[in-house]
Structure 1
Amino acid sequence: MAPKEVNLEQVSFKITLHAGNAKELAHDALTEAKKGNYQKADELIEEAHEEYAKGHDIQSENMSKDDPKQRVMTNMLLAHAMDHLMSANTEISLIEEMIELHKE
């Protein structure tokens, strides 16, 4: 049986969705930390990590599939989605540090 073709557009949009959710949650966490709501900030950061993980799982799952057209590494939309995912990871890390500074 031939491998199922990967729908790169659908995969890309799912990754971008979770990356965007992760970024928004991280920024919401910083807003809460600025208000002194550290418990809420910690909860939001945890949710941001969960959203990031969902995006990363989708990326990992689909990169391991065979793509008969050999498009996985050349699709611009997928590259854009992966960029969002990596920037979400960076933003979460930086915001975690900023929250720690607010706690001090």
Structure 2
Amino acid sequence: MAEEQEQDLQAIMGLIVNGGNAKSSAFEAINAAKTGDFATADAKLKEADHFLVEAHNSQTDMLTAEANGEHAKVTLLTVHSQDHIMNAITFRDLAGEMVELYKRLAK
């Protein structure tokens, strides 16, 4: 595999793996909030944010290469990775709202 293809694959997998981890952490935050464990919920949201930053770094690498004229071949895997990260971002945002709602209900 050519070095350029390997770098593309690493960036794509960075989006998929970190997006999945972010979504999982956000889901764990909701489950913790359901039981009234708001310290864990907040920690899991922070963990989700960390994974999203890592995913963003992978995405930035891809965009930088594109801006430098290194056009990546758009494959189904590339599209899937972008979809994966966008869903993770949306889920993280919703999880934050749900944790806040559980906090209000607990008062």
The residue that corresponds to 2:16 in the other structure is: 16
CA distance in 1, matches of 2:10, 2:50: 20
Q: What's the C-alpha RMSD, in Å, of the aligned pairs?
A: 1.6
| 1:27-66, Cα deviation, whole Å (9 max, x unpaired) | 0000000000001100000000000110111111122114
Gaps of 5+ in 2: none
CA distance in 2, matches of 1:14, 1:94: 22
Q: Note closer, same or farther for the CA distance 1:67–1:12 as it changes in structure 2 (3 Å cut).
A: farther
Per the TM alignment, residue 91 of structure 1 is displaced from its structure 2 partner at its CA by 0.2
Match in the other structure for 1:60: 60
Identity of aligned residues (%): 30
TM normalised by structure 2 equals: 0.84
- Deviating above 4 A after TM superposition, structure 1's stretches of 4 or more consecutive aligned residues are none
CA distance in 1, matches of 2:18, 2:27: 14
- Match in the other structure for 1:101: 101
Greater helix proportion: 2
Which amino acid in 1 is paired with 2:4?
A: E
Note closer, same or farther for the CA distance 1:52–1:60 as it changes in structure 2 (3 Å cut): same
Q: Unaligned regions of 5+ residues in structure 1, if any?
A: none
**Pairs aligned (count):** 99
> Where do residues 23-102 of structure 1 align in structure 2 (5 Å cutoff)?
23-65=23-65, 66=68, 68=70, 70-72=71-73, 74-102=74-102
Report the residue type matching 2:101 in the other structure: L
